[in-house]
Structure formats: C-alpha cells, structure tokens
Structure 1
Amino acid sequence: MKRPAIVSVVAWGLLLALSGTAQAAGDPAAGKTKNAMCIGCHGIEGYRTSYPTVYQVPRLGGQHAEYLVKALEAYKTGARNHPSMKGIAATLSTKDMEDLAAYYANSGK
C-alpha cells in the first residue's frame, strides 16, 4: 500500500471512531434522573447476584459511554443474555441509553 493510501485509510478510521463517540454523547444530568433501575444492583459496592448464576455485579462509574451503550443495546437485542438486564434494556430508548451512559462515564459511582 502506498503512503497516500495509508493516510487515507487512517483518516477514515479516525472519522469513524469520532462519529461513534458523537453517537454515544448523552446528557449526564438526564441520565442521573433515569438511573433508578441501575442503582439497585450497580450502586451497591461489592454486590454479588445469584440469578441466573453468582457473579460480581460490575461497577458502571467511569466506564466508556460507547461501551455502556453497546452493552445495553446487546441486552435489548438478546446478544447478551441476562434476564434482568434484558428486561430493563427493553424499556430503554436509544436516548435513555445515551443519557445513562453519559452519566456513568462522567461519574465515579
């Protein structure tokens, strides 16, 4: 591959990466008002769940917003399988997911 072609590929990659970031940009203040269903499990330090299997509930604060949106979308579509998360994600709009992701990405909680 010639140098101009490499530069072009890198430039397109950067544009795609930046456009993905823009899609996940929600309103952290709105997300804080929508997190009642999240804090029941994710708001308890060291919380472990036993349904359907025992595992450590992950901490959401400080995660990348894009990751959180993708995870919620995966629960909503069934690509990720957890009954509680699937039920919660099914009730969320894309805007809700983006707002929640923005809140948790900007929060240490």
Structure 2
Amino acid sequence: MVRMESDLAQVLLAASRGELSGVSLKWSPGSAMVVVMASKGYLGTEIRNLEEAENVAPTVKIFHAGTALNSDGNFIATGGRVLGVTATGRDLEEARDRAYQAVEEIS
C-alpha cells in the first residue's frame, strides 16, 4: 500500500458502488518491504526510538498494531505483533536494508 499513488478513498468508493472495472490503479516504481516486530518482553514494555527509526530514510513508515500509550504518553507493547516497519527502495534489497536499519533503531 505504501507504493499506491492512486487515491485510496476513490478506489474504496468505487468498490462500495461495484464500479471497480472503471478504476485504474497507479503504483510508484520500486519495491516495498515490511518487517513485523513482535514483542520479546513483557506486555507494557516501553517502545523507544520510533522517531529515530522513521528518520532512517524518508521512505520508512511505522505501522502500529499491538501498541498503546501509557500514562506518560509513551508507546508500550500490548500484544504479540507490535509494529510493522515498512520501507521502499529502488529494488527489494534496498527496501529490505532500509527496513532493517529502522528496526535496529527501535528498542
């Protein structure tokens, strides 16, 4: 989905009306990779350095799954699959390298 250049709202609207045959999807060139991070500690463990991870490259995006904000406003793990660290690149190797560089920042 991070490579999709088409207007997602328009695609979903067409789908809800049964009019997908008239929709042409546009994708950015290159590849994308997602690394799913699972919780290795106890529930409630604070997740740190998310901003640093997103700054590895402008194409890095972090999607939350098993997270919540604690009373201090910090992200904590609330389930098994916690984050989806996604990156794009010219090819699959570059996308993978960027995603794993971002993963290395997160603690």
The two structures share one fold, judged by TM-score above 0.5: no
Structure having the higher strand fraction is: 2
Asked which structure has the greater RCO (Cα within 8 Å, sep 6+), the reply is: 1
TM-score normalised over the length of structure 1: 0.25
Q: Greater helix percent: which structure?
A: 1
Normalised TM-score (structure 2): 0.26
